[in-house]
A and B are shown apart, each in its own frame.
Chain A
Amino acid sequence: MDSVEALVAHIQGLSGSPAEVAQLHSLLKQSEDTLRSQAARLAPFLPQLDPSAHTLGYLFLLEAYSSEPNLREQADIFVSIVVEFINSCSTEQIRLAPEKFISVCKSFKDQVMQLQVPMQGIAPLRMALRKIQTSSEQLTPLHPDYLTLCLLAKCYKAGLSVLNDDIFEVDQPRDLFLYCYYGGMINIGLKRFVKALECLHNVVTAPMTALNETAVEAYKKYILVSLILNGQVPSFPKYTSAAAHRNLKSYTQPYVDLANCYATGTFSEFEACIQTHLEKFQSDSNLGLVKQVLSSLYKRNIQRLTQTYLTLSLQDIANAVQLKTPKEAEMHVLRMIQDGEIFATINQKDGMVSFHEDPEQYKTCHMIEHIDSSIQRLMALSKKLSSLDEHISCDPAYLAKVSSPTTESTERKWSMEELSLWLVFSVIFYDSCFLNCVSFYLSSQFK
């Protein structure tokens, strides 16, 4: 079976029933080296195959072709071939050789990026991602690539369709780090800071034995987003890995300084702090976020005023939050009212702002639906939790660990802690309603 021609003939012949495909798979595996050595002359054979019927064979050929060193010159041809393949390939057959499929997609992404048309890659890659995924909870190696393209093309909304799935199954921790980091960036781009914080939090607190660069970069953004959202940076939760705990702060000193300034200092101090570290922020390309932190300081101060005053003149607001003119204060207040961050009305006649209480009465249909959906989500989560608990309590390795506590290394102890927390959680969840979880949650050490 040396020549490619013969192989192509086999592919055409053996793409019917699953048994035939399996036979073809082993055949293809044997001839992998041949294919690779002849990578350069594979292109003309591809049109002889039908990507939907001969998916597996097509995939092997395409993968060998993509490893060709001077692919660059034919990049646009390659891209269009891959797009067509992804669109029409059969899901069952690509799952037989997922690593080949992923490798093809990765080189596709490289070519798209090299051609500087990231937007063209988004739709095919999403299709590829959905085809290779066995469930929507699975993280594939294509996730980070997809998000990279979305970021490069500034199509943040496209990224959301993937980010909105809850990811639980992870094969490669590295993929998760990148996925969450990029996910954080996309959410920042859309100003969905709560979600962004969640993503970045996952990176920072993920179990890791050694610090990696993604975590460091994520922590920088984590600090800034926390400041924008909450006005302070929470300390590391106790499940943070030791490596992160020990080293992260020393690698992100300018950001830690900034957070300290934010907590204690005035505007002038804060601005001076930004100026001193300006270059660093710029080289990390976080300057935009830093500027948003600055404007959030104004917002926070205005928000504080709503807690103390019913009415206040624009001049007084300007004085209180250290803005230069009442006009500027009016702009800030106006923007905040627009964004629903405060509830107020401006009386331009005498330059007064009256602050109102939150008009939400929690009795509209919409609100009930919102609460209901939140309860549904929590119930689904708690089900997942109890099934996992069952799973773990039947796991022989876990039981062995529990019964012999003497031989534990520190790392193991740490994960043990995590596992036992689950147990507590799930036991309580088993037969309890939402409010119980809430009260338990409030009292639990988790907070």
Chain B
Amino acid sequence: MNGDDEGVVGAPIGDDAMFSDGGSVDDPRRPPARAGKAPAAGGEQMDVEAYAALYTGRTKVARLLFIAERCGNEGMQLEALRMVHDEIKRGEDSHLYAEVVAKIGGRLGSQYDFDQTWVDTVDRRAELRKEKLENELSAYKTNMIKESIRMGYNDLADFYYSHGQLGDAFKNYVRTRDYCTTSKHIIQMCLNIILVSIELGQFMHVSNYVSKAELTPEQLDSVTHAKLRCAAGLAYLETKKYKLAARKFLETGPELGNNYTDVIAPQDVATYGGLCALASFDRTELKNKVIDNINFRNFLELVPEVRELINDFYASRYASCLAYLENLKPNLLLDIHLHEHVETLYLEIRHKAIIQYTHPFISVDLHTMASAFKTSVAGLEKELEALITEDQIQARIDSHNKILYARHADQRNATFQRVLQTGMEFERDVRAMLLRANLIKHESMLKTTKKH
């Protein structure tokens, strides 16, 4: 179909054999048999438990709550809420506990009813601990030892964080900034603030502190480096700068592993990065930065669907690519970060695919094309019309015979047209300018005569 992708079709299969961890080796075209660990596996209902296992800390709770809210399926919702409940019970956030229990509403049996004694114990303990931390902090402050004050603030912030008072946690983490003495402290401070900000949804702070951390003179270790890349990618994703987001995710090193599960799982890096790259990169970029990127390939192995759809896209197998995307969609809509962007990204990817499809042809039969994109001819016509109007495809539609003809602008005519047009505009502007100049002259003459 495309002349320039020789060897590409075969390549992914070979690579698979080298890198894959089983599952999809035998036939990468067929959707792999349920890789249970993937966050977005398969077209049917997602495996909430497997999904939750990818994350730790508050993000696990937040993601599960998000799923419970959005999934619209009672079984799944209860499953998610049950796991949230168990997770919270292990922590100390009594407010969230009350909320979750109210959401469960007794649907999970007596074991999940409101446990007043637990709440009381937690609250009492929290009260004591807070008092102790505050006392300690004021003691440190009177002693004026920088390091201790920093630790004091840090402890207090940690305490607030674990109790779900994110605003206070953020404030206290920021306060440690003045007491940081080494680069290590600065990086730690930045990572803490990034963590809280992501949960607060304040991505301005995220990108600020990412750049602050990257500016520290000391060489960052590769894990921190990867973490910062992910955080920056998330920040760009939220601000809809998909190309930049894709770059950041693609630059993430494989060292990330499971070190940042309180924010993002490596599977997410693959999904977010892959989709953003598809939506925003051109063909060569896609090849150089995604398909040939060894680091990123490791991530892609974790989510074979995304890898497959990227390869399909590059090899112009749009039907299969779009099928993968459709399969992924319900799960992606349940992702706490990606859900708002799914529609835009999908639309962009689709447009890219249509443009790429039409590019090498002089004429395209709309029926064939519609079946390749699994849509009706009328629908395809509308899409093409929009793209032609935006000047993204140079072609015209023969709506009678349902054929798309590429349109090659006649350079000579266009030049003549433009020259004549420009000449006319020029003439008009010069005339208007001469007139204005004469008016000015007249005015200044009046002024001088008035003066004398």
Q: Chain A: residues with CB nearer than 8 A to chain B?
A: 166-171, 173, 176, 198, 201-202, 205-207, 239, 304, 307-313, 316, 350, 352, 354-355, 357-358, 360-362, 370-371, 374-375, 377-378, 381, 384-385, 388, 397, 415, 418-419, 421-422, 425, 434-435, 437-438, 441-442, 446
Contacts and interface: CB of A to CB of B under 8 A. Distances in A.
Q: Is the interface of B mostly helix, strand, loop or mixed?
A: helix
B398 A205 contact: no
Contacts of B438: 168-170
Contact of B436 (A205, A350, A355): A205
B423 interface: yes
A198 B388 contact: no
B395 to A, nearest CB: 8
**The 3 residue pairs across chains A and B that have the minimum distance between CB atoms:** A311-B400, A362-B416, A310-B398
Interface in B393-452: 396-401, 405, 410, 412-413, 416-417, 419-420, 422-440, 442-444, 448
Given A198-B428, A441-B422, 16 more contacts: A168-B435, A176-B439, A202-B432, A307-B388, A307-B396, A308-B385, A309-B399, A355-B396, A358-B413, A381-B430, A385-B434, A388-B437, A418-B440, A419-B440, A422-B433, A422-B437
B448 A378 contact: no
Interface string B361-404: 00000000000000000000000110011000000111111000
B433 A308 contact: no
Contacts of A169: 438
Contacts of B448: 397
B389 A374 contact: no
A354 to B, nearest CB: 8
B427 A377 contact: yes
Contacts of A362: 412-413, 416
Given A309-B396, A313-B400, A381-B427, A173 B439 contact: yes
29 contacts: A170-B438, A198-B428, A198-B431, A201-B432, A202-B436, A206-B436, A206-B439, A239-B436, A307-B388, A307-B396, A308-B389, A308-B397, A309-B385, A309-B396, A309-B397, A312-B399, A312-B400, A354-B400, A357-B410, A358-B413, A370-B420, A371-B420, A375-B423, A377-B427, A381-B430, A385-B430, A385-B434, A421-B433, A441-B422
Nearest to B399: A312
B413 A168 contact: no
Interface residues on B, range: 35 or more
Nearest to B416: A362
Contacts of B430: 381, 385, 425
Contacts of B384: 308
B440 A374 contact: no
Given A374-B423, A446-B429, A207 B436 contact: yes
Nearest to B405: A310
Contacts of B385: 308-309
B443 A438 contact: no
Contacts of B399: 309-313, 316
Given A377-B427, A381-B430, A418 B396 contact: no
A308 B387 CA distance: 9
A304 to B, nearest CB: 6
A362 B417 CA distance: 9
A170 B439 contact: yes
B434 A310 contact: no
Interface in B105-161: none
Contacts of B398: 309-311
Contacts of B423: 374-375, 378, 434, 438
Contact of A418 (B401, B413, B437, B442): B437
A364 to B, nearest CB: 12
B396 A438 contact: no
Contacts of B435: 167-168, 170, 176, 202, 206
Contacts of A171: 442
B396 A308 contact: yes
A378 B420 CA distance: 11
Given A170-B442, A206-B439, A312-B399, A307 B389 contact: yes
B378 to A, nearest CB: 10
The winner among B398, B413, B420, B435 for most chain A CB atoms within 10 A is B435
B401 A361 contact: no
A242 to B, nearest CB: 14
Contacts of A442: 422
A385 B430 CA distance: 9
A198 B432 contact: yes
A444 to B, nearest CB: 10
A188 B379 CA distance: 42
Contacts of B396: 307-310, 355
B389 A418 contact: no
B253 to A, nearest CB: 46
A173 B442 contact: yes
A378 B389 contact: no
A315 to B, nearest CB: 11
Contacts of A357: 410
A205 B432 contact: yes
B444 A415 contact: yes
A115 to B, nearest CB: 35
B427 to A, nearest CB: 6
Interface string B329-362: 0000000000000000000000000000000000
Given A308-B397, A311-B400, A352-B400, A438 B422 contact: yes
B401 to A, nearest CB: 7
Contact of B397 (A207, A310, A384, A437): A310
B440 A207 contact: yes
A360 B413 CA distance: 8
B363 to A, nearest CB: 10
Contacts of B439: 170, 173, 176, 206-207
A438 B412 contact: no
A176 B388 CA distance: 45
A418 B436 contact: yes
A418 B417 CA distance: 29
Contacts of A307: 388-389, 396
A374 B397 contact: no
A71 B442 CA distance: 36
B426 A437 contact: yes
A378 B430 CA distance: 9
Interface in B67-87: none
A176 B443 CA distance: 13
Given A310-B399, A438-B426, A374 B436 contact: no
Given A202-B432, A311-B399, A360-B413, A304 B440 contact: no
B120 to A, nearest CB: 59
Contacts of B410: 357
Max chain B CB contacts within 10 Å: which of A167, A198, A309, A313?
A309
Interface string B221-234: 00000000000000
B444 A304 contact: no
Given A374-B427, A397-B448, A207 B443 contact: yes
Nearest to B429: A446
Contacts of A388: 434, 437
Interface in B33-80: none
A310 B438 CA distance: 50
Contacts of A313: 399-400
Nearest to B382: A320
A169 B412 CA distance: 39
Contacts of B397: 308-310, 312
Nearest to B428: A198
B20 to A, nearest CB: 44
